[in-house]
Structure formats: C-alpha cells, structure tokens
Structure 1
Amino acid sequence: MRGRLGRSARVLVALATCVAVVAGQTGTATAVGPPGYPEWWFDTWGVQALWNAGARGGGITIAEIDTGVNAQVPEITSSLVPGFDFGVPGGIGYVDHEIKSFGHGTAMASLMVAKPSDLGVVGLAPDAKVMPIALPIDGTNDAAGSGADHLPDAIRWAADNGGKIISMSLGGERDPAEDSVPCPSDEQAAITYAISKGLIVVAASGNAGDEGSPVEDPGVCLGVVSVGAVDSANNVASFSSRHPYLTTTAPGVNIPTLSRVPGHVFHGDGTSQSTALVSAALALIWSKFPKLTGRQIVSKAISSFDKRSLTRDPAYGFGIINPNTAIHSGNPNARNVVYDSVEPYVSQLEAADAETALKSPPSTTNTHIPGSVIIGPAPSPWSSAVVAALLVALLGLVLLVLLMLGGLRSRRRRAASAQTTAQVYGFAAGSGQFAGPPQGWHVVPETAGGYPDQPSAAQPHLGHMPPAQASAETVQAPSPPAAVSSVAPTPTPTTPTPTAPMQPPRPIQRTVLPSVEEEDAAQWQDVISAEERDL
C-alpha cells in the first residue's frame, strides 16, 4: 500500500505533535474531541441521542485486523478481548507493532471504543469490544522475514473466534500485469467463509485518489463494505481512492486518535479512519437490532445513506453512512448489492457444508453422565461377536460331520483313497465386493483457479458495478466455482492453520493505510517552526 508521504504529510505530523502537547496539558474537555479538533461526526450523526436510546455497541465484537493494539492505553484497556498475533507466538494482539509512535492499530481502536478521558478522544461505540488481530506487515517491527501473507488466515480466525464485524484499515495494491484476479483467491475464500458465518466485512478503499486510485485488496473483494473518506462538509477527500466497487464514505479528514504511547493524541486524515468509523457505526446499528443478520444490518445502512444514490458513484459509493438514520428509518430488507455479489459463493459453501453433515456417519456413542440414567433400547445379546462365533462353530461341526461320513463310506467300500474333495463354503478371500470408505468422508479440494468469474483488475466486479451501467444481459449472478472446499481451516488461538495460496503467489506489499506518522525529529522540526510562524 502506497502511503501519503512528502511535504504534506510532514505538515500533518507537525500538527499532530502540537495536538499531543495541548491535549496533554488541558483539563477535561468540554466537547467531544481534543481542543480545536472535535469529533465532528458526533454532532452530524446525533451520537449522544443514539447512546441515550441504548445504541452503544453492546454485544458486538469488532475483529480489528491491523498492527495490534496497545492494551496499556487506559482509554482502551477495558474494551479489548483477546485476539491473535500472527507475528509473535502465543501473542493475543495486545501489543501494537507499528514502528512509529502513531500506533495504527491503537489509533483505529480508539475511534471505535475509547472511553472518555482528559485527552478528549471518545470511541463511537464505547460498549462494543475490539478483538485485535495483529499482522506482521510493512511498517511493523515484526514484518522482517515474515514472507507470508497472513490476511486470509486472520479473516478465518476472526470468523471462528467470536467476531461479528471485521474491520481492515489496510490494503495491498493489485497489479493487472501480475495478478489474474482483483482479489486473491484464498483471500476471497476466507471472506466468503466469514460472511457465511454471519460476519460483516469492512475494508478501506485506499489513500491514492490523487495517484490514480489503483485497485487494492481486500477492499475490492466480493462481499466487502468498501469505504472512502469525506470531510465535515461531506466533500470527498482528494486522497480517497475512487473505485466503481466503492460502497460508502465516512469521516476521514481532521480525525483525532489516541497514540500507542499512553497520554498522546495524533490528528490526521485517511480512509483508515473512515473504515474504523464505519465498523463502529455498524456496531451501533447491530446493538440496537441484535436479532438482525449481518446482511440486514448492511441493508439498513445502505438504504439510509446521506447523499444516497441508486447507482454507485466512484467517489461516494452509494452515499455517506449515517447510523442515526439507519436506526430510525433503514430498511433491513432493502436491495443489498454488496451481499448479492457474493451470495452465489456463500450459498455453495453452505450447501457443501450441509451435504457433508448429512453424509457424515451419526455418532453411536452414548454420553453417560455419572448419577444419570440413559433411557434407550436394551443391548441385544446377539452382538456381532457372538454371531460370528456361532457361525464358526457351526461350520466346524458341519466339517466334522462330513469327515466322519466320508470315513464311514471309505471303510464300508474298502476304497484305497477318497476321490472327492470336501468343499467348504465360507468367507473366502476375494468373495463379494469391497464397498470402500464411508461416503462423505473425503474432502473435495478447491479449484486452483479459485473464483474464475472475477474479471481482471482493470474492470469492476459484477455486483460492484453501478446498476445503471449494467445491462440486462450483464446483471447476472456469477456462476459458483467448480468446487469449493467444505472444510475450512479453523486456526486456534495457539496454532492457526495456514491457508495454502490458490494461485501463484507474489510478494504482497500489504500495509496499513497511513495517516499521521512521525518522522525523524530533524525532518519535522523545521516544519513545526514554519507552522508556528504562520500562527
């Protein structure tokens, strides 16, 4: 993922340093957000009223796949549940591995769940939980020598360990010259698996709107809520990547966040922040309507966007998310092109799982709890072992009788020898047909091509295409792949199962979407001085 570097970024770093000092020296803030940098979306969305009505994110776990979260930041500590660290054996995601003090994973978590403090940063969904899943990616202290792209495994881990919403403020640029599909096949399979388990998957669109908006995964993948950035006037940020598959936009300009260093606040821009806020907004909606499915929650959001459009705009998507209108007027059964695009694959996966369950031999073991009585048919005395023993005894008796009769005849006829060979009928080797192993116990491997109906990276996905641009001939559900594995890897908190790549791998430069980042003091000191002169 390319970052937003250069002079403009250094100016943001200078502003961030000033904010950190000011926030650390003031008393309790009178408004949400640090002095001079309010969390302006609280007023736009009427968040306090939503909280008063019980929509605070309770019961929702957001699986944040990022750099990890510093559990020692007091505003976040109580809002964390153990996750997983793919770079540290035995790690649970409670360490933010970003090299710079911005602390990307911690910053995103603060936007979602931070408790109020003198620093002024308050999370949008304070009663939700964040389950940090740390990846060794570019910009982290555990990235060197990693070599593997753990994102598919991280997505599956989130689905298998209690996540309700997956938030990914990261991405990897796709190259049409090297990549046969926009979304890596193993990654798409993991996302499909998560959606089949009921999760909502959210990802950033990218920060390269002023650099050609290259396609980036996982934002491009089918079934993902892809997020861009707007400012407080609802104008799309210049850096927000434009894509025909974009779903929505959210606040991403002038966003204060907590640092991984306790007591410090940063301030900056990015679709990373937008993604975290969309994830938290969905948590608010879901906490108010806990019986709805993930698809229905996304439908409520889409049907109530601000600046809502029936067709996808590459800059805005279908509109700007607003959890307040979603809760009060969103339609859970509205058209949902995000889920429609991936539904054929989800249906096939669910059908394969159901077929496997039907073919699996039922368990015949009774679990007897001490002190309880098992009610059922009495065991038959004619067990298989008894029947087999009786058959052997009977055959032996028949053979003995035949031999005795043969000997009697021989003596009566005074024959020199018996000319007849006794024929013994039984279970001779080779008799009958071997039925083989029980049906349904085999695993059908996934097709090497993965999802063949995905177009090239230069074209939008079917389902991510604006409806107005799709003719009656082109708007069709994509054909399911030839075969999808019915057994998905289910890594445990200590030994995650790696997912084998399903297409020739290439080095993936996957990074978090940078916003405000510290640089060497000698580089930004001049910028601070220049800013002070301008004040």
Structure 2
Amino acid sequence: MSRAWRPIAVAALLALSASLGQGSAAANRPPPIDPGRLPSGATPAPFEKTEQKLRCAETAPGGDGPTVPVGQRDLGFTSAWQFTRGAGQLVAVIDTGVARHPRLPGLVPGGDYVGTTDGTDDCDVHGTVVAGIIAAAAVDGQGFVGVAPEATILSIRQSSRAFQVAGRAEQQREGQTADGYGDIRTLAAAVVRAADMGARVINISEVACATGSLDDRVLGAAVEYAAVAKDVVIVAAAGNTDENCASNPGLDPLRPTADPWDQVSTIVSPAWYDDYVIAVGSVDSNGAPSQFTVAGPWLDVAAPGENITSLDPRRSGLTTGTIDDKGRQGVLRGTSFAVPYVSGTAALVRARFPQLSARQVIDRLKATAHAPAEGWNPLVGFGVIDPYAAVTADGGTNTVARPTMAAKALPLPGAAAPRDDRPRNIALIGAAAIGGVLVLAILASFPIRRRLHLSDTNAGAGSGATPS
C-alpha cells in the first residue's frame, strides 16, 4: 500500500498488549478460550489518558458519478437486492470511527476507546470507508452503493494512528510519528460492547500480528462470547504483509499431508480464532490473490480489496484515496476493505434467513463462494464470495470443510489381457477363400471362351463372306 496511508493494524501497539503475559497454547494454535478473561461491557473510554499528536488525514475526492466501482461490479451484489437489502440488520464497525455522512442516515454511535467522542469521528479516514462499503445508501446518478444499503451501522472507535498515551510527546524526538493508540484490550472490549448493543454482524478491519507467541486470550474470550452467547457473525481481516506482518507458507506440493497449522510462523488475531470468526483475504480486479494478503490456515473467503471507492469522511461525496502531509496521494487497498464486502453480504443473508445461526451464516458464505481449483487455499480460503448465491442457494445450513491434502497411492495397472486375434483371423481366412474362388472362376472361364471363338470362325466360312 502507498506509504501515504495504510490500513490500521493493532500490531502498532502489540508490545503493550504482549506485556500482559504469554498465552498457554502452542505458538501456532490459538490458546484455549478462558471465559474468565472476558472484558466488561462498561461504557467505552480509553484505558489510559490519551493525546492527539498528528493532525487528521485528508482525503482525495473521487468516484462520484454513474461509474460502478470494480469490486462492486465484480461481486454483482445488486442482483441480490430483489430478495433483500439488509433491512433490520445492525452491523458494528469496530475501527477508527465512522463519520456522519448523508449516505449513512441511521448511523448509531457506539462509543470511543481512543478519545472522548461518541465514536462518530474518523480522524484516520478508515472506518468511514469501511462502513460505506457495507451500507452506503443508493443515490440517483451514483454508481457506488453499499452491499446492504438498508442495514444500519454501529460505530465504535477503537484505534487511531494520530493518538497516543498522554505524555509520550515529551519523550519523543522532534518529527517522530505518533505511537498510535488501540490494542488487543481495547479491541476485545469493543467486541463485547458491539455484541451487547445488539449487533448481528461485527466488522473488524484490524489485526494484531505477531511472530512467535501472542497473549490474546482476552480477545479470544470476547469473540467466543459474541459468536456463541450473542450469535453474532464476526468478520475479520487476514492482515497485510506491508503492515510489518510477514506471511505464512502456502501449501507445499511436496508435503501434501502436512497440516498447514504446523507451518504457522505469523499469528494474526482475531482471524486465527477460526471457530468463531470468518477470516477474509483480498483479491485484485482479475480475481487473483492480492500480493499483500497474509496467508494462513484460518483463511475462509476472499473479496475485492483493491481500487476501492467509498464514502468520504471529510465531505458529502466519495473518495478513492488519501493525501499525506506532503501532498502525496495514496490509494485505498488492503484486506481491511475486503472485509466489509463480506460483512455486507452476511447482513443480506441474516436479513433473508433470520432463522440461521451465526455459524450457519458463515458456513453458507463459504459454501457459496467461488472455490479455487484445489477447493481451498491459504490465500483465498474457499474462494471469492458470491452475494447472489449466498441469498438464493438451496440448503440454508450447508457446511463445508477444508479438503484433506493427503497423498493417495494409485494402484499399478494389472497385466494386459491376451490379445484375441480370432476376429482378424476369421476375416483374413474369409477374404482368402473369396479370393481363391474368384481366381478359380476366372481360370475355368478360359476353355469356354475358346470353344465359343472357334464356333464363330467356322460359321463365317460357309456364307461366302470375304474379309473387307
């Protein structure tokens, strides 16, 4: 991604959360859920006093007009609107805040873990873009529209690159960037807050990324609570490699029986809580995996994450990028923006099939995706989502499972059966017999022809005829 702007990553403050202690599970597996670590649902507020060090990001206007953005065109989700537009669904966006916008008329403030707002201030120009992809209302003459335009957004500000713990500025060199604020603790608290406020879908376009071990048990308890106790569909980003988050190895064709979890070197949370979260990778405009997607055995589905157009938090129109303090424009791309396409589709499914549990909705999204040739891989999971299929396919509780990559020995071919030449021999003998008969017939005809010739000669002499 352009250095002018990058998707928010909780990894920026990972040292703070890691200092809370190490998890008890192996480094390549999520730790067991500990309900005792569930954070309270108290009114949102920063865990420490904070200060804003950097000025808020600016946006590059663009995308207005009848042209349909690439991701929207490729997913074709408007075809699903004859069945549902997501009415009645509350979708929580846990992010950098969602600014009030005329195309988000029902925006619900959910609180702020960074500053003192109600959650509807977006200094970082991230959460508003995410929310727009999910639920921006349709406007005549505008090609851009949200996946579930009748859904309602609940905004909870959980992180910001422009803020940091108060007092840190005195310890920093002149020109040094802000530390950022928001970590695993605030993310976990925001998940519980969203679930308690009645969200049916939670969009988490943020990640905590670490190599080795990570104590994220508080976040594990939060996503388990939301998914099981509150029946919420939780959609989380796979993470970006340009966010100092190294990718994991892909499938090894020389080790087809290997468990991909055994190859994990980089942890991405909450995406790796695969029993409770649907993890999303990004694809480009050609449908190929984006080069920045962090691979992992927890990948479930993919969606467009490049060439993004969405709501502008600074104006009433749209934006296609940001402008840094040196006037350089950066584009919007990342797994952060693939996630809201899936969240919007989950809202459509929940509105269409209210009887389905959160787990069944996730299974349905995976079962109706356009699977890669191998059925599943660690970059796109079960494939790119199909909103129309998700709301129309038969079988509301269909489930899928990652394919077993076990090698299977093929049996050696048996000995060839003896060749049967009888038909050929019969044909040859028959042909020879017919040929022999024809030869005999020709030879037998010579004496008859000779006698006939002699008779014709004698008859000519007796009549007085002379040669001409």
Q: Report if the CA contact (8 A) 1:67-1:140 is conserved.
A: no
Q: How has the CA–CA distance of structure 1 residues 297 and 258 changed in structure 2, closer, same or farther, with 3 Å as cutoff?
A: same
Any idea what the Cα deviations from partners look like across 1:20-61, whole Å, max 9, x if unmatched?
A: 2x557xxxx2333xxxxxx2343333333321x131111111
In our comparison, the structure showing a higher alpha carbon Rg is 2
Residues 1:69 and 2:98 are matched in the alignment: yes
Q: How has the CA–CA distance of structure 1 residues 23 and 311 changed in structure 2, closer, same or farther, with 3 Å as cutoff?
A: closer
| Secondary structure class of the residue paired with 2:131 | helix
Considering only aligned residues, what root-mean-square deviation do their CA atoms show, in Å? 2.9
Any idea what the Cα deviations from partners look like across 1:118-174, whole Å, max 9, x if unmatched?
A: 665321111001101111x34143665768631111111111111011100011112
Instruction: Tell me by how many angstroms 1:250 deviates.
Output: 0.4
2:145 alignment counterpart? 122
1:468 alignment counterpart? 404
Instruction: Tell me by how many angstroms 1:187 deviates.
Output: 0.6
2: CA distance, partners of 1:470 / 1:86: 46
Superposed counterparts of 1:340-351, under 5 Å: none
The TM-score with structure 1 as length reference comes to: 0.53
Residues 1:230 and 2:283 are matched in the alignment: yes
| Secondary structure class of the residue paired with 1:253 | coil
1:194 alignment counterpart? 226
Any idea what the Cα deviations from partners look like across 1:242-293, whole Å, max 9, x if unmatched?
A: 1121111101111112222114512421111100111011111211112222
Match among 145, 152, 165 for residue 188 of structure 2: 152
| Secondary structure class of the residue paired with 1:108 | helix
One-letter code aligned to 1:192: E
Match among 41, 55, 80 for residue 84 of structure 2: 55
Match among 97, 104, 117 for residue 123 of structure 2: 97
1: CA distance, partners of 2:60 / 2:143: 11
Q: Report if the CA contact (8 A) 2:239-2:245 is conserved.
A: no
Superposed counterparts of 1:277-288, under 5 Å: 277-288=341-352
Q: How has the CA–CA distance of structure 1 residues 212 and 330 changed in structure 2, closer, same or farther, with 3 Å as cutoff?
A: farther
Q: Report if the CA contact (8 A) 1:79-1:127 is conserved.
A: no
Structure 1, gaps ≥5 residues long: 10-15, 33-38, 338-465, 472-535
One-letter code aligned to 1:228: G
2:49 alignment counterpart? none
Match among 110, 115, 131 for residue 83 of structure 1: 110
Residues 1:304 and 2:368 are matched in the alignment: yes
Q: How has the CA–CA distance of structure 1 residues 328 and 54 changed in structure 2, closer, same or farther, with 3 Å as cutoff?
A: closer
2: CA distance, partners of 1:134 / 1:75: 19
Q: Report if the CA contact (8 A) 2:59-2:319 is conserved.
A: no
Any idea what the Cα deviations from partners look like across 1:494-529, whole Å, max 9, x if unmatched?
A: xxxxxxxxxxxxxxxxxxxxxxxxxxxxxxxxxxxx
Match among 334, 337, 342 for residue 398 of structure 2: 334
1:423 alignment counterpart? none
2: CA distance, partners of 1:314 / 1:143: 36
One-letter code aligned to 2:92: A
Superposed counterparts of 1:3-82, under 5 Å: 4-6=1-3, 20=61, 23=63, 29-32=65-68, 39-51=69-81, 53-71=82-100, 73-76=101-104, 78-82=105-109
Q: Report if the CA contact (8 A) 1:301-1:326 is conserved.
A: yes
Q: Report if the CA contact (8 A) 2:90-2:201 is conserved.
A: yes
Any idea what the Cα deviations from partners look like across 1:71-97, whole Å, max 9, x if unmatched?
A: 1x2222x131231212234x4311113
Q: How has the CA–CA distance of structure 1 residues 41 and 175 changed in structure 2, closer, same or farther, with 3 Å as cutoff?
A: closer
Residues 1:242 and 2:269 are matched in the alignment: no
Q: How has the CA–CA distance of structure 1 residues 128 and 86 changed in structure 2, closer, same or farther, with 3 Å as cutoff?
A: same
2: CA distance, partners of 1:207 / 1:330: 35
Q: How has the CA–CA distance of structure 1 residues 332 and 119 changed in structure 2, closer, same or farther, with 3 Å as cutoff?
A: closer
One-letter code aligned to 2:127: G
Instruction: Tell me by how many angstroms 1:69 deviates.
Output: 0.7
Q: How has the CA–CA distance of structure 1 residues 85 and 68 changed in structure 2, closer, same or farther, with 3 Å as cutoff?
A: same
Q: Report if the CA contact (8 A) 1:173-1:215 is conserved.
A: yes
One-letter code aligned to 1:238: Q
2: CA distance, partners of 1:219 / 1:470: 25
2:161 alignment counterpart? 139
One-letter code aligned to 1:255: I
1: CA distance, partners of 2:285 / 2:192: 35
2: CA distance, partners of 1:94 / 1:18: 17
Q: Report if the CA contact (8 A) 2:66-2:142 is conserved.
A: no
2:386 alignment counterpart? 322
Q: Report if the CA contact (8 A) 2:363-2:400 is conserved.
A: yes
Match among 308, 328, 331 for residue 255 of structure 1: 308
Any idea what the Cα deviations from partners look like across 1:403-444, whole Å, max 9, x if unmatched?
A: xxxxxxxxxxxxxxxxxxxxxxxxxxxxxxxxxxxxxxxxxx
Q: Report if the CA contact (8 A) 1:109-1:276 is conserved.
A: yes
Q: How has the CA–CA distance of structure 1 residues 8 and 41 changed in structure 2, closer, same or farther, with 3 Å as cutoff?
A: closer
1: CA distance, partners of 2:335 / 2:151: 21
One-letter code aligned to 1:220: W
1: CA distance, partners of 2:87 / 2:121: 24
Q: How has the CA–CA distance of structure 1 residues 154 and 243 changed in structure 2, closer, same or farther, with 3 Å as cutoff?
A: same
Q: How has the CA–CA distance of structure 1 residues 30 and 138 changed in structure 2, closer, same or farther, with 3 Å as cutoff?
A: closer
2: CA distance, partners of 1:170 / 1:284: 22
Q: Report if the CA contact (8 A) 1:81-1:129 is conserved.
A: yes
For these two proteins, the number of residue pairs brought into alignment is: 310
Any idea what the Cα deviations from partners look like across 1:455-504, whole Å, max 9, x if unmatched?
A: xxxxxxxxxxx441589xxxxxxxxxxxxxxxxxxxxxxxxxxxxxxxxx
